[in-house]
Structure 1
C-alpha cells in the first residue's frame, strides 16, 4: 500500500474513533457547562470561587476530580475496546459508515511528533 493511502486511511479511522469513542462520552457533560466570559482571551481574568471562598485562577482550577477522570477513561477504553472487537461486524460497520460522513468534515489530523517521541523512547 502506498504511504499516501495509509495516511488517508489512518486519518479517517482516527477521526471516526475520536467521534464515536471519545466525543460522545462524559466529555460532553464537561462541554455542556456554562463557558465563562474572558476579556483577555486567555482566561487569566477568570476565577473559580470554591466552597471555602478561595479564588482559584481558571487555569489553575481542576476541571475534573479523580472519580470523574476515572469514569471518563473507563468509558473511552470500553468504547475503544468495543470498536476493535466489533470492527468486522457488518451491522457495526454500517453504523460506522453513517458516522464517517460526519467525521470526514473534521479537520485533517496532524502527526504528533512530540507524542511519538515520548511513546517510542526506550524504557529504562
Structure 2
C-alpha cells in the first residue's frame, strides 16, 4: 500500500473512532453550560469565585474534576474496546457509515509528536 493511501485510511479511521468513541460521551456533560466571555482573548479578564470566596483566574481553574476525568476515560476505553472487538459487526458498520459523512468534514489529522517523540515519522516506518 502506498503512503498516501495509508494516510487516508488512518485519517478516516481516526476520525470515525473519535466520532463513535469520544463524542457523545461524558465529555458532552462537561462541555454543556454557559461559556464565559473574554474581551482580551487570553482569558486573563475572567475569574471564577468559588464557594469559599476565592477568586481564581480562569487560566488557573481546573475545568474538569477527577471524577469527571475517570468517567470520561472509562467511557472512551469501553467504546474503543467495543470498536476494536466488534469492527465486523453489521450494526457497528452501519453506525460507521452513518457518521462518516459528519466526521469526514473535520480537519485532517496530524502526527502528534508527544506520542512518538519529537521526530517526524512517516506511516509504515
TM-score, normalised with respect to structure 1 = 0.90
Q: Equivalents in 1 of 2:33, 2:68: separation in Å?
A: 15
Alignment of 1:71-86 (within 5 A): 71-86=71-86
Q: Equivalents in 2 of 1:65, 1:107: separation in Å?
A: 29
Offset of 1:80 from its aligned partner? 0.5
Offset of 1:91 from its aligned partner? 2.1
Q: Equivalents in 2 of 1:109, 1:27: separation in Å?
A: 20
In terms of fraction of residues, the more helix-rich structure is: 1
In the other structure, the counterpart of 2:14 is 14
Matched residue pairs, number?
A: 118
Runs of 4+ in 1 over 6 A off after TM superposition: none
Offset of 1:14 from its aligned partner? 0.5
Offset of 1:114 from its aligned partner? 2.9
Offset of 1:116 from its aligned partner? 1.5
Over the residues paired in the alignment, what is the CA RMSD in angstroms?
1.1
Q: Equivalents in 2 of 1:72, 1:35: separation in Å?
A: 20
Instruction: Indicate yes or no: 2:33 matched with 1:70.
Output: no
More off after superposition, 47-56 vs 60-69: 60-69
* 3-state SS in 1 of match to 2:42: coil
Q: Which runs of 5+ in 1 are unaligned?
A: 119-124
**1:49-104 C-alpha deviation (Å, 9 max, x unpaired):** 10000001111111111111101100110011011110011221111111111100
Q: Equivalents in 2 of 1:35, 1:13: separation in Å?
A: 31
Q: Equivalents in 2 of 1:64, 1:12: separation in Å?
A: 29
